[in-house]
Structure 1
Amino acid sequence: MEFTSLIFFSIVSFFFVSAHGLSETESLLKFKKSLIIGRAGALESWDRKNPPCKWIGVLCHNGYVWGLRLENIELLGSLDIEALMGLKSLRSLSFMNNKLKGPFPEFKKLGALKSIYLSNNQYDVKIPRDAFEGMGWLKKLYLEQNKFSGEIPMSVATIPKLLEFRIDGNRFTGQIPEFTHELNMSNFSNNALSGPIPKILSRMDQKMFEGNKGLCGKPLDSECYSPYNISPEHKASSKKKSSKFFYIVAAVVAALLAILIILGIIIMLCRRKRNKQPLLSQEPGPSSLQKRAGIQEGDKGQSSCHSLKPTTKRMTHTTKLSFLRDDKGKFELQDLLKASAEILGSGCFGASYKTVLSSGSMMVVKRFKHMNTVGTEEFQENMKRLGRLRHGNLLPIVAYYYKKEEKLFVCDFVEKGSLAAHLHGHKSLGQPSLDWPTRFNIVKGVGRGLLYLHQNLPSLMAPHGHLKSSNVLLNENYEPLLTDYGLIPMIDEESAQELMVAYKSPEYLKHSRVTKKTDVWGLGILILETLTGKLPECFQQADKKSEHDMASWVNSIFQGEWTQELFDQEMGKTNNSEAEILKLLRIGLSCCEVDVEKRLDIREAVEKMEDLMKEREGDDDFYSTYASEADGRSSRGVSSEGINFSWNDSSHQGIK
């Protein structure tokens, strides 16, 4: 009896272990076996020697597989979705930029999926009407740039949590189905759709419907007509002629009235502003720092004369801040509004204010525009995700405030200001330039922070998305702190394409897509800016599709050897540092490869900088020189080569 029980227990244990330990491995290997992989060795790491969480393209959480990201590896044929049914924690699938075709995958067998990315493949089939039935958790569905035909499946419109839906660049026909709720982001352009646009989508940008000759209704300019109320052509023509004069007169009168009303409102608001200057309602024009530095951000917002007083007054009585950190003393929005405020700068997303609380703590409040289309649930979910981030090279968000027409971020004030101000505004501010060791330490820290974002925000294609020198602040030890990260899900698409750095990358300008390596391109441009001391904006052409940028300029000058005209002469050098500077320059150029396939990924870029750091640590002459200079940061030092060093000992807040 005991022997029988022992056998039974062993069998049960075997199946339990299989279900929890081996099923994911077996499922993935079965799925791999069904794939036709055009790029040799792309999934070479998929074997039993390593756990699945260490395989390329496999994303894990708490030891379980939650996502597959098999992009740009020339996958051919069709997908065997049944092989993935053993992955109980699977939430995300991305097969973008491959050559997949065949029948539409049966994703509905994976009912817990939250995101599906099939963009840029070769599907040329009709999608079944019930293809997405039962997928109650699906939030993101990307099917653009294929050859899908037939009608948009009705099951898409009934997905309860769907937030993002793209089918642009296909061959869909028929009408757009009636969605049960608004979408945060969608694109139906460049298909063969016809009929009226559903009312729930009428507030979207009309660009999202372009390329469909048969569509009508808002937001397009073409009206929808019923066959029962279309008048004969000659009657309509005569009616237009008879009433044309009256329409013109009415339009002129209405325009004049509107102009008079607007002028009256502007005059009233300007008078109110002169009489009263409420906290956080100052005009987000250029700060005193910007005027002294003589710098103007390329993406600076337009100034206006309106006051924020009505908004702030309403917030005082009806709102509370949502805190993301417990290590900070709690304060209320009223405390911020009552405190003295100083405008630090006005960037592409809004103005930033420095406030001093009654406790003496200095905080920065950033008021965001371009977020009005973000729903409460998605905004709060994304903020909680950002609040969980903890890294020495990220400026944490202390608290936030959400309202449909108002979004505020509250962060600690960083005394030394931005990298942009130190690189380009130090002369006007009467400050010394950053030396080579400090610059290298800054870009290395930026790389580390970027790698952390990519590891902890894997669901975002560009976890930072807006990396530039004005979004890198420097603490008292000149360690970099990244700001404005993780914003892409919260910025409306049109504004993101116009303002965010990720959408100025070569892959977006050429192919209208952002990849996991887009942030690496931003890091490369930042490295080149730090070494050359030149503003990237100086190389941008009026034609946004132009490939002429800072990287192409550096490539045109750099011939593999030291070139005096290429580097910022105020950077200075330490003993034998030319080789190190050249190595960092090559890393920057490798991050700026136009071909995404040839570009380094973020881990490779950071590892190369870490290797360069180790080489420097092995150079005793360098460190003895650097240590002696570091002791004299408040004065000007001279290296053994007779080169002056300029150490930074003054402080200011950088341009946002």
Structure 2
Amino acid sequence: MAGAPSSLARLLLLLLLAAGCLLPLVADAARLTLSLAPAADALLRLKAGIKDDGGALGSWSPDTSPCADGGPSWKGVLCNKDGVHGLQLEGMGLSGTLDLRALTSLPGPGLRTLSFMNNEFAGPLPNVKELSGLRAVFLSENKFSGVIPADAFAGMGSLKKVVLSNNDFTGPIPASLADAPRLLELRLNDNKFQGKIPDLKQEELTEVNLANNELEGEIPASLKSMTSDMFAGNKKLCGPPLGAKCEAPPTPSPKAHPQASVKEGTTPSQAAADTVASTGASSADDPKQDEGQEPVEGSISFGVSAALLGTLLIAGVAFIALRRRRGYKTKNFGPTASSSRPSGPPRVEPHPPAAKAPAAAGGVAHGGGAARKAEQGRLTFVRDDRGRFFELQDLLKATAEVLGAANLGVCYRATLTTGQSVVVKRFKEMNRVGREDFEEHMRRLGRLSHPNLLPLVAYYYRKEEKLLIHDYVPNRSLANLLHGGGESGGMKKAAVHWAARLKIVKGVARALSYLYDELCMLTVPHGHLKSSNILLDAHHGPLLTDYALVPVMNQSHAAQLMVAFKSPERKQFGRSSKKSDVWCLGLLILEILTGRPPTYDPPKAAAPSGELSSSQQKPGPAAGNTDLVTVVGSTPEGEWLNTVVDRDLRGEEEEDKEEMVKLIRVGMACCESNVDNRWELKTAIERIEELKAKERPDEEQATVIDEDYSDVALN
């Protein structure tokens, strides 16, 4: 019994020590709970004003915490070690009122990012300056309207990105944007802003998109380095970089004296002074100027001759600059997309020295060598599983073969001196983002890995153009497989069996689902899904290309060229949605089953139902005038197999034909013009995965009708 007290004492000591160890943990947990409680309260007050018919914010529950285990537990909430630092509530169908004042009570440093893109919010711009610490504000693709107060962004010293595009804002651009010292990106395109553009002099400003508004006047000198498409759609804007010239200021009154202008603190323009001197208008009103002076007969002729000589000199310099510019375009990976196709494969040459460009063309007189070295740069490889197997100079020395001139750029097969081939896609319409954001997005694409995605290997950045480098795939695209083609007209389509077509559809759907999971922050993760952007491997497995390029494309060019921007909701409401890629998938399914190319524009007249002739099944005027959705929708379901389905599939077994009808239904559900009634991608994929086909050996998947099918080509 003597040992009992000592044992009890040791037990008590151990309990005290354990309590001492647990107390800090309990205290930390308590502090975290206390810090998150105000955050939850603030977010719930914000939610109270939001209309959430779809239940997207169902995880925002009073009995839970917005951040847990070092990450977010509420949908759309961004967390870090300090708590809530951002909201990303995009494409959720939200509407109602955004009471940002409720968020001022968030503990810690406060919100840094705020994004409500692609929702249904309406009314005036929320009072964002209540959150003075914001670095990024994304409110594009909503229904906000009205005049934005001039001081709407006053005091926001950390603000870097403001994206208000695709709304209905009116009135002048808020002057307080010019006072945001760290502004990097400003996108106000596709609104109804009026008046003149404020002078945005921020040194780090890399993108200003003001296209499709009602702005007027001369573009400020601080923005003249931007591309012209950033100002397109403003009929009354003038000056560089637009081609529209600004009207010359009115000439001074003949009775005005130059001294008066000096007293007012201004100086007459040189053009006005030259006008007065050449016409002699001032002399006529001031007799004292003519005393003792007689007009010299040859003075005016000498002035005209000098002006003519100067004009010829400028024209000569411009002509030389233009010749050099054209030489650059044709030597660097062949012609641009608008150039004619060369008769033979060109030899790739290095860029001509930029420093030799005339000063009139924008050349830099000093430090040209360093500028050229920095501009030329290096290839950047983005794959962790791939080594650096060639350099830029190897690419410049490679033999380039033009594979196709698609609407986004020109595609080449570059054969290196080692004999290895890569595909180089040259883009001209990627001036939307600066180098830092472009490189960040390329690294994001480099991390993607899926058996049905053609991986990005490397890229090359220049301000004027970008090169994206992929592995070379010798097979043709799905468009060539289904429709044939070729400039000589000798390339014919292949008879592709149902099993091969279903395999392609499943591969495309899986890759699309992967993009939606990995790039969930993008409204349109693919953006350009069509048959010519799907390559086929040796076993007829699909490889998607040109995916996730919307963030780095110029908005105006994306709207004109990319397939997702042809969707019904884009045409109806002026904005894309998460289901725009689903619409593209539906059209692709109908194309694969009917064997005819789709048209992405609505038909001018109702298309007749009935048999698709063989001429309609090939590319041509007849095929381009009938919308696939209209053709299938106007044909009774019982007649699909005899009138809509490709002739090459009509000999399949009855079980396979039943599966074809099911897939057509999936395609039509994905092509629903009402975006609310259109299937979700998840639903479409589940139905596609349920479909079956009789397995065939790889050599029987597609019967090639023309032996030239094995030639190298790529759309």
TM-score interval, normalised by the smaller of the two chains: 0.7 to 0.9
Match of residue 303 from structure 1: 340
Match of residue 517 from structure 2: 455
1:176 is the counterpart of 2:198:
yes
Change (3 A) 1:578 1:264: closer
Separation in structure 2 between the aligned mates of residue 560 and residue 66 of structure 1, nearest angstrom: 53
Counterpart code for 1:325: R
1:467 is the counterpart of 2:532:
no
1:398 is the counterpart of 2:457:
yes
Within 5 A, what are the aligned runs for 1:139-158? 139-142=161-164, 144-147=166-169, 149=171, 152-155=174-177, 158=180
1:562 is the counterpart of 2:640:
yes
What is the SS of the residue equivalent to 1:494? helix
Deviation at 1:491, TM superposition (A): 2.5
Match of residue 505 from structure 1: 567
Counterpart of 2:136 (choices 100, 111, 114) is 114
Deviation at 1:114, TM superposition (A): 2.9
Deviations 1:335-371 (A, max 9, x none): 2333444322222233322233344433212222223
Matched-pair contact (CA < 8 Å) for 1:419–1:474: yes
1:35 is the counterpart of 2:25:
no
Match of residue 100 from structure 2: 80
What is the SS of the residue equivalent to 1:562? helix
Counterpart of 2:186 (choices 164, 186, 208) is 164
Match of residue 383 from structure 1: 442
Matched-pair contact (CA < 8 Å) for 2:500–2:701: no
Deviation at 1:539, TM superposition (A): 6.7
Change (3 A) 1:138 1:556: farther
Counterpart code for 2:97: G
Separation in structure 2 between the aligned mates of residue 70 and residue 320 of structure 1, nearest angstrom: 36
RMSD of aligned residue pairs (Cα, Å): 4.9
Separation in structure 2 between the aligned mates of residue 357 and residue 216 of structure 1, nearest angstrom: 46
Change (3 A) 1:352 1:143: closer
Change (3 A) 1:312 1:82: same
Match of residue 426 from structure 2: 367
1:320 is the counterpart of 2:378:
yes
1:477 is the counterpart of 2:539:
yes
Counterpart code for 2:95: L
Matched-pair contact (CA < 8 Å) for 1:116–1:142: yes
1:186 is the counterpart of 2:245:
no
Match of residue 296 from structure 2: none
Change (3 A) 1:57 1:574: farther
Matched-pair contact (CA < 8 Å) for 2:426–2:465: yes
Within 5 A, what are the aligned runs for 1:63-142? 67-71=87-91, 73=93, 75-83=95-103, 85=106, 91-101=113-123, 104-106=126-128, 109=131, 111-124=133-146, 126-127=148-149, 129=151, 131=153, 133-134=155-156, 136=158, 138-142=160-164
Separation in structure 1 between the aligned mates of residue 189 and residue 711 of structure 2, nearest angstrom: 47
Match of residue 640 from structure 1: none
Separation in structure 2 between the aligned mates of residue 494 and residue 464 of structure 1, nearest angstrom: 17
Matched-pair contact (CA < 8 Å) for 2:201–2:222: yes
Separation in structure 2 between the aligned mates of residue 76 and residue 437 of structure 1, nearest angstrom: 49
1:442 is the counterpart of 2:504:
yes
Separation in structure 1 between the aligned mates of residue 145 and residue 158 of structure 2, nearest angstrom: 24
Change (3 A) 1:157 1:583: farther
Matched-pair contact (CA < 8 Å) for 2:527–2:550: yes
Deviations 1:526-554 (A, max 9, x none): 111111111114976699xx997332332
Deviation at 1:304, TM superposition (A): 6.7
What is the SS of the residue equivalent to 2:158? coil
Match of residue 468 from structure 2: 409
Matched-pair contact (CA < 8 Å) for 2:427–2:465: yes
Change (3 A) 1:423 1:66: farther
Matched-pair contact (CA < 8 Å) for 1:94–1:118: yes
Query: How many residues are matched?
Result: 600
What is the SS of the residue equivalent to 1:394? coil
Deviation at 1:609, TM superposition (A): 2.0
Counterpart code for 2:633: N
Deviation at 1:178, TM superposition (A): 2.8
Counterpart code for 2:30: F
Counterpart of 1:18 (choices 23, 29, 33) is 33
Matched-pair contact (CA < 8 Å) for 2:569–2:673: yes
% identical equivalent positions: 30
Change (3 A) 1:178 1:430: closer
Change (3 A) 1:491 1:61: farther
TM-score (norm 1): 0.75
What is the SS of the residue equivalent to 2:231? helix
Change (3 A) 1:325 1:649: farther
Deviation at 1:81, TM superposition (A): 4.8
Larger gyration radius, structure 1 or structure 2: 2
Matched-pair contact (CA < 8 Å) for 2:191–2:212: yes
Gaps of 5+ in 2: 1-12, 67-71, 256-271, 280-299, 355-371, 606-623
TM-score (norm 2): 0.70
Matched-pair contact (CA < 8 Å) for 1:590–1:599: yes
Counterpart code for 1:551: V
Counterpart code for 2:382: L
Match of residue 616 from structure 2: none
Change (3 A) 1:531 1:49: farther
Change (3 A) 1:83 1:326: closer
Deviations 1:305-343 (A, max 9, x none): 798865446699954321112433421122233344432
Structure 1 range deviating more: 354-363 or 443-452: 354-363
1:634 is the counterpart of 2:699:
yes
Matched-pair contact (CA < 8 Å) for 1:434–1:648: no
Separation in structure 1 between the aligned mates of residue 76 and residue 188 of structure 2, nearest angstrom: 23
Within 5 A, what are the aligned runs for 1:641-656? 651-656=710-715
Separation in structure 2 between the aligned mates of residue 528 and residue 59 of structure 1, nearest angstrom: 40
Deviations 1:86-116 (A, max 9, x none): 6968634115442433673335527354341
Matched-pair contact (CA < 8 Å) for 2:95–2:120: yes
What is the SS of the residue equivalent to 1:598? coil
Change (3 A) 1:138 1:440: farther
Match of residue 287 from structure 1: none
Change (3 A) 1:443 1:343: same
Gaps of 5+ in 1: 285-299, 617-621, 638-643
Change (3 A) 1:635 1:434: closer
Deviation at 1:396, TM superposition (A): 0.9
Structure 1 range deviating more: 473-482 or 555-564: 555-564
Change (3 A) 1:649 1:309: closer
Counterpart code for 1:608: R
What is the SS of the residue equivalent to 1:593? coil
Deviation at 1:211, TM superposition (A): 5.7
Change (3 A) 1:81 1:206: same
What is the SS of the residue equivalent to 1:577? helix
Match of residue 553 from structure 2: 491
Change (3 A) 1:229 1:378: farther
Deviations 1:191-236 (A, max 9, x none): 5x665432223455378375686x665547463666894779xxx9
Match of residue 524 from structure 1: 586
